[in-house]
Chain A
Amino acid sequence: MFDVIVRGGTVVDGSGAPGFQGDVAVKDGKIAAVGQVSGEARQVIDASGRVVAPGFIDPHTHFDVQLLWDGAAKPALEHGVTCVVPGNCSLSLAPLKAADRRAVVGMFQQIEEMPPEAFTTAFEWTWEDFAGYRAAIEKGLSINVAPLVGHSVIRLWVMGPAAQERAATPGEIAAMQDLLRECLDAGAVGLSTSFVDLDEHGRPVPSRYAQAEELDALAAVLGEYGRMLQVVPEFYATDITIARIDQLADLSIRHNIPTTFSPLFDTLAVPDNAERAIARVEEQFARGARVWPQMQTRPIDISFSLLRPSLFFARLPRWVRILRQPLDQRLAALRDPETREKMLADLGPDGGEAMFGRLIARGGDACPRALVGKTLSQIAKDRGQPAGLALIELSLENGLDVAFLSAGQGHQVTDRIGPMLAHPLVHIGASDGGAHLASFSTYGDTGYLFSEFVRKAGAMSLEKAVAKITSETADIWGLKDRGRLQPGLAADIVVFDAATIDREDELPVFDMPGDGMRYTRAARGVDTVLVNGAVAYSGGAYTDAKSGVVCV
């Protein structure tokens, strides 16, 4: 008797091989059989007309804090993601001495934009070491977690405040090595570091004070375990990114470790950026290095309000001058009929319809909820105003704190990005799940992969897309029993409709501790998600299953 049989679906097993009609049987949390399965099960899931695939793996997230009160990392799980990698960009919540918590909370708030209540009311700090953090999240996991340990917190543990002041001594480097070993023994799947990030005071995070010798010494420890080094390079400058690729390649070869850097994205302003980086990656792989560039699937949007000046208006000189003024003068100018008339005249005879009409009202603390998700064109029509005037007046009516979104302003050209995502050396990831909460949604990139790059553009087959975010990810990260529908491996399974799987529209929700707001996207076309053999999501609802584990 099996525990579960997923019957009659198109089995896309994660290997990249063509899908086939069959069943997947589960026993004791593992996949027991794949193919035409006879026998009975306690639970049968009808998958006819659906794809049955391994659960997706998201290799770049910041769910470290959320996992302490939400073991499903919502809404990641409902998108078919069964394993997340938190602890990226040099930041994890362990190892962390009680005295250093405030400093690290500030760094997390800077990156994740999580409300302060998330750190003061949502959980109890019960740990200092990595094993303690692991135990704290393991109590309620519905999703699997493959956690990185952050270089910045390792540095802070060993050096205290000096971690953000100077290079480490040989003794301190040795202490960091010992601490990294302890974390890897406790379940960390690698080390993350950053050459870019800042704390809430605008100071470089501790990892940025490390000299090359320190990173080399830590990479040597990763080599003892064959574990991953994740890096945030200076992604805004192609030449520096290429230099980092070379540095990672040397570390990879010297210590026989996989490395990955994120983000890498396409921008029409620097059209050869991603192309040159990928070309260098190809050269380094040919040398025997493993340097995996992570590329996100979703386009990048621009978000702004009139509360602060934004470069979004850089092509409107008068608007720039007005919005750059101190708040009281800005408000006076925006209320002045003569000034407004001139501002609107700058937008052309359509009153800003062409320039602003496609903007989406997306929230902000003061945006009327009924308007969230509507285009400015719709709002203007309802108000009987031109789009430019509606933007100004709606903002004035709400203390200027109405955020507008200009969708698809970067990494947006599917015909350019599709082939890059399909490239055998490009690692699909960099979702940033759980971060940038108040700015944009970091969920649903897997659905977008299928809707945009498989169905719409045909940039890769369904089977290839599944392989990219399952078996290939598992192999890159050394997650040995994940990523494939194969007997003996963990029964992480997603059942979805290949014709409809997608991400829903972005919406603000107020589900963070302290009624904090974040932007999320619900899933479309995902029927059922099993984590280690237990149904964790089905028919649009989460179950009570707590079958997630810290997986290595």
Chain B
Amino acid sequence: MPESALDEAVIVGAEIVAGHDGTAELVVRLLHPDGSEHPVLLDEDTGLKLMEACGASSLEDLYGQSWRRIVPDA
């Protein structure tokens, strides 16, 4: 795996998708320090909390944010 200059995983992509239960959900792509990239699907409530925690008013505002914003206690 190529290594990156990152100390921790950061959000490098965000997209709204349709959830199984008919709500809008948020898929964020995390770039890890080892260079790998993985999607994480967040339900509507968690996605809204993430945007609030990041002070984000658009999806693009999430880019570069730490993965820790997804799990506030981490």
Q: A residues engaging B (CB < 8 A)? A: 235-239, 263, 265, 267-270, 300-304, 309-312, 314-318, 320-321, 324, 409-411, 436, 439-440
B48 to A324, Cβ gap below 8 A? yes
B20 to A303, Cβ gap below 8 A? no
A301 to B57, Cβ gap below 8 A? no
Q: A235-B20, A409-B18 are in contact. Are A314 and B25 (CB under 8 A)?
A: no
Q: A237-B41, A267-B17, A301-B18 are in contact. Are A320 and B51 (CB under 8 A)?
A: yes
Would you mind naming 15 contact pairs between A and B with Cβ atoms under 8 Å apart?
A236-B20, A236-B25, A269-B15, A269-B27, A270-B41, A300-B22, A302-B24, A304-B24, A309-B48, A311-B47, A314-B47, A314-B58, A320-B51, A409-B17, A439-B22
Check B16 for interface membership: any CB of A closer than 8 A.
yes
Within 8 A of A (CB), among B12-57: 15-27, 38-41, 44, 47-48, 51-52, 57
- Extra 6 A-B pairs, beta carbons < 8 Å, given A315-B58, A436-B21: A236-B41, A269-B17, A303-B22, A314-B24, A409-B18, A440-B22
What residue of chain B has the Cβ atom nearest to residue A410's Cβ? B18
Q: CA separation between A237 and B29, bound complex, in Å?
A: 12
Q: B residues engaging A (CB < 8 A)? A: 15-27, 38-41, 44, 47-48, 51-52, 57-59, 61
B22 to A269, Cβ gap below 8 A? no
Q: CA separation between A312 and B22, bound complex, in Å?
A: 11
Residues in chain A near residue B21, CB distance under 8 A:
436, 439
A312 to B16, Cβ gap below 8 A? yes
CB distance from A392 to the nearest CB of B (A): 18
Residues in chain A near residue B19, CB distance under 8 A:
300, 302, 410
Residues in chain A near residue B16, CB distance under 8 A:
311-312, 314-315
Q: CA separation between A310 and B59, bound complex, in Å?
A: 13
Q: CA separation between A316 and B27, bound complex, in Å?
A: 17
B18 to A302, Cβ gap below 8 A? yes
CB distance from B41 to the nearest CB of A (A): 4
Q: CA separation between A321 and B52, bound complex, in Å?
A: 9
CB distance from B30 to the nearest CB of A (A): 12
CB distance from A432 to the nearest CB of B (A): 9
CB distance from B33 to the nearest CB of A (A): 18
Q: CA separation between A303 and B18, bound complex, in Å?
A: 9
A410 to B23, Cβ gap below 8 A? no
Residues in chain A near residue B15, CB distance under 8 A:
269
